[in-house]
């Protein structure tokens, strides 16, 4: 009987060793990744820092956080936390930490010409990380494999960037963009989901011309694999998509065609037609309240992407981050901005504030509002910079700063099913933290002043990440 007992003990010891090894494991970083790292130590102690924890709770002043092996292992009032021997201590007096942003409508492509989207993954992942994004979902892909491959390379430490939930190429009907496949029927939709899931995609996005049949097939196949489906819809109404089991709808209520009077099934009446009905919608009316109730009852999340709509709205400030763009791309957007400023017929000056109201109403009714930026439109939504801008716009929409931060962190993590590890600041969670110079719980614009971004306990220098791509975003 002795033998097996000893063997059991050996096995337990080995398991314990493997357990420790797994915990202590950080990826072998490539030289490129290393060049952006400022802080990489087994134990890091952040002292005298204001903690905004991502749950919507009031900030806690003068805190200490202990980070070990990529996790938060100590958190309390400064003075109550032991500094383990050999730890690197950073005095963050005057600074705040918020959780790393978890943003869910990101892209690794950008409009570079008429109907053409340049694949800018290499520079975008750096900009996202510099802006404080440590986890993101790409909300549709127009390249095939790049999102999936970059997600792997980042996980393996070969590239800097956020953890990526990589979507498959868009699932759309005909009349899509040049870089989109046009689904033939529900069977085709099914085989697309199978193929891209096998290729490594971890979520799916339906687009404006999909049919109800195709969307139903997509949802069924994705759910079989435990994956979620979101949609930027038009041909299918929100109510229809909810009935088909969709998990998430993009762009708040901006693209909803539920209120178009003579809407034909499976046909997109045109984005502009839908938008006019939203601009005229009564937020207290029965039709809207019923739709909100349906979304909330069926646990369908809504993604706020106010940033992209702001860049299309005359009279709004010039968006941040344009300086990193290739000069031609910056000029493209600036001339659009000038032309658009003269557009007196635009629906946007009425639509944007209505969007604010409707998204607030959804959240107040108990809906899960999550956030992203959508770097598309006419250009001008620059990754990283726009993630910070999205938080500012949520505050403009009426959320308190800590609520806005929660929408951009814990809510996104909840949707992605990653909230046990990321999305808020707590002992046992992954050390994904953004150190900002100031107090964004009072002045949300302070989220723009990023000093350092911790991902899995490793501190990246935002200035170096941005400098490495500055003036070249548009090439790669």
Q: Which residues bind Zn ion (CB under 5 A)?
A: 139, 374
- Residue closer to Zn ion (CB basis): 248 or 456: 248
State in angstroms the smallest separation of the CB of 33 from Zn ion.
Answer: 27
State in angstroms the smallest separation of the CB of 466 from Zn ion.
Answer: 23
Q: To which residue do tokens 């694999």 refer?
A: 225
State in angstroms the smallest separation of the CB of 139 from Zn ion.
Answer: 5
Sign of the Cα torsion 31, 36, 38, 42 reads negative
- Residue closer to Zn ion (CB basis): 374 or 432: 374
Q: Evaluate whether 41 touches 90 at the Cβ level (below 8 Å).
A: no
State in angstroms the smallest separation of the CB of 176 from Zn ion.
Answer: 13
Residue 328: how many other CB atoms lie within 10 Å:
10
Q: Which residues of 53-76 are buried (b: 16+ CB within 10 A; e: fewer)?
A: bbebeebeeebbbbbbbbbbbbbe
State in angstroms the smallest separation of the CB of 140 from Zn ion.
Answer: 5
- Residue closer to Zn ion (CB basis): 167 or 388: 167
Task: Give the SS3 label for residue 112.
Answer: strand
- Residue closer to Zn ion (CB basis): 47 or 138: 138
State in angstroms the smallest separation of the CB of 215 from Zn ion.
Answer: 17
State in angstroms the smallest separation of the CB of 337 from Zn ion.
Answer: 20
- Residue closer to Zn ion (CB basis): 374 or 392: 374
Burial class (CB in 10 A: 0-12, 13-18, 19+), 142: buried
Kindly report the three-state secondary structure assignment for every residue of 271-289: HHHHHHHHHCCCCCCHHHH
- Residue closer to Zn ion (CB basis): 305 or 424: 305
Q: Which residues of 263-292 are buried (b: 16+ CB within 10 A; e: fewer)?
A: beebebbeeeebbbbbbebeeeeeebeebb
- Residue closer to Zn ion (CB basis): 193 or 208: 208
Measured CA to CA, the distance from residue 214 to residue 224 in angstroms comes to 16
Q: To which residue do tokens 């938008």 refer?
A: 275
- Residue closer to Zn ion (CB basis): 103 or 363: 103
Phi, psi of 105 (to 5 degrees): -130, 65
Q: Which residue is nearest to Zn ion (CB)?
A: 374
Q: How much of the chain is helix, strand and coil, in % rounded to 5? A: 40, 20, 40
Phi, psi of 236 (to 5 degrees): -110, 135
Cα Rg of the chain (Å, integer): 23
- Residue closer to Zn ion (CB basis): 118 or 139: 139
State in angstroms the smallest separation of the CB of 22 from Zn ion.
Answer: 36
- Residue closer to Zn ion (CB basis): 231 or 438: 231
State in angstroms the smallest separation of the CB of 166 from Zn ion.
Answer: 14
Q: Evaluate whether 406 touches 413 at the Cβ level (below 8 Å).
A: no
State in angstroms the smallest separation of the CB of 107 from Zn ion.
Answer: 6
Measured CA to CA, the distance from residue 178 to residue 246 in angstroms comes to 26
Give me 389's structure tokens: 């801008």
State in angstroms the smallest separation of the CB of 250 from Zn ion.
Answer: 7
- Residue closer to Zn ion (CB basis): 43 or 171: 171
Measured CA to CA, the distance from residue 453 to residue 132 in angstroms comes to 6
Cα 265 to chain centroid distance, Å, stands at 31
Measured CA to CA, the distance from residue 199 to residue 216 in angstroms comes to 21
């Amino acid at each position: 009987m002795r033998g097996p007992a000893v063997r059991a003990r050996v096995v337990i010891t080995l398991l314990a060793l493997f357990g420790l090894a797994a915990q202590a494991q950080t990826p072998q970083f490539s030289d490129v990744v290393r060049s952006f790292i400022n802080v990489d130590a087994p134990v890091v102690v952040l002292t005298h820092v204001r903690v905004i924890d991502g749950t919507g709770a009031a900030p806690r002043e003068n805190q200490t956080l202990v980070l070990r092996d990529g996790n938060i292992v100590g958190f309390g009032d400064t003075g109550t936390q032991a500094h383990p021997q050999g730890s690197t201590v950073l005095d963050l007096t005057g600074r705040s930490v918020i959780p790393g942003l978890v943003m869910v409508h990101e892209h690794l492509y950008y409009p570079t010409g008429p109907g053409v989207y340049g694949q800018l993954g290499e520079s975008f992942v750096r900009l996202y990380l510099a802006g404080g994004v440590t986890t993101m979902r790409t909300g549709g892909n127009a390249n095939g494999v790049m999102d999936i491959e970059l997600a792997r390379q980042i996980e393996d430490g070969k590239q800097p960037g956020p953890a990526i939930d990589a979507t498959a190429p868009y699932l759309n009907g005909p009349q899509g963009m040049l870089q989109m496949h046009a689904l033939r029927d529900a069977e085709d939709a099914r085989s697309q989901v199978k193929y891209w899931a096998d290729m490594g995609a971890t979520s799916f996005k339906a687009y404006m011309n999909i049919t109800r049949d195709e969307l139903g097939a997509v949802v069924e196949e994705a759910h079989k694999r435990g994956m979620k489906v979101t949609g930027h819809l038009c041909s299918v109404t929100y109510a229809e998509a909810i009935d088909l089991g969709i998990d998430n709808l993009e762009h708040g209520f901006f693209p909803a065609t539920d209120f178009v009077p003579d809407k034909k099934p499976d046909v997109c009446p045109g984005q502009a037609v839908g938008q006019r009905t939203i601009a005229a919608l009564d937020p207290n009316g029965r039709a809207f309240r019923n739709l909100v109730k349906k979304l909330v009852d069926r646990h369908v999340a809504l993604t706020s992407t106010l940033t992209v709509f702001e860049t299309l709205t005359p009279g709004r400030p010039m968006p941040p981050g344009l300086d990193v763009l290739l000069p031609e791309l910056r000029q493209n957007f600036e001339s659009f901005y000038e032309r658009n400023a003269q557009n007196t017929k635009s629906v946007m000056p009425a639509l944007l504030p209505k969007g604010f109201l409707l998204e607030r109403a959804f959240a107040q009714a108990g809906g899960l509002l999550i956030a992203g930026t959508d770097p598309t439109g006419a250009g001008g939504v620059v990754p990283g910079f726009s993630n910070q801008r999205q938080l500012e716009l949520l505050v403009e929409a009426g959320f308190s700063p800590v609520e806005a931060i929660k929408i951009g962190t814990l809510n996104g993590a909840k949707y992605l099913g990653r909230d046990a590890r990321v999305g808020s600041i707590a002992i046992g969670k992954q050390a994904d933290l953004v150190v900002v110079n100031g107090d964004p719980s009072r002045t949300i614009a302070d989220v723009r002043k990023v000093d350092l971004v911790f991902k899995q306990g490793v501190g990246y220098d935002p200035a170096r990440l941005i400098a490495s791509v500055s003036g070249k975003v548009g090439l790669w």
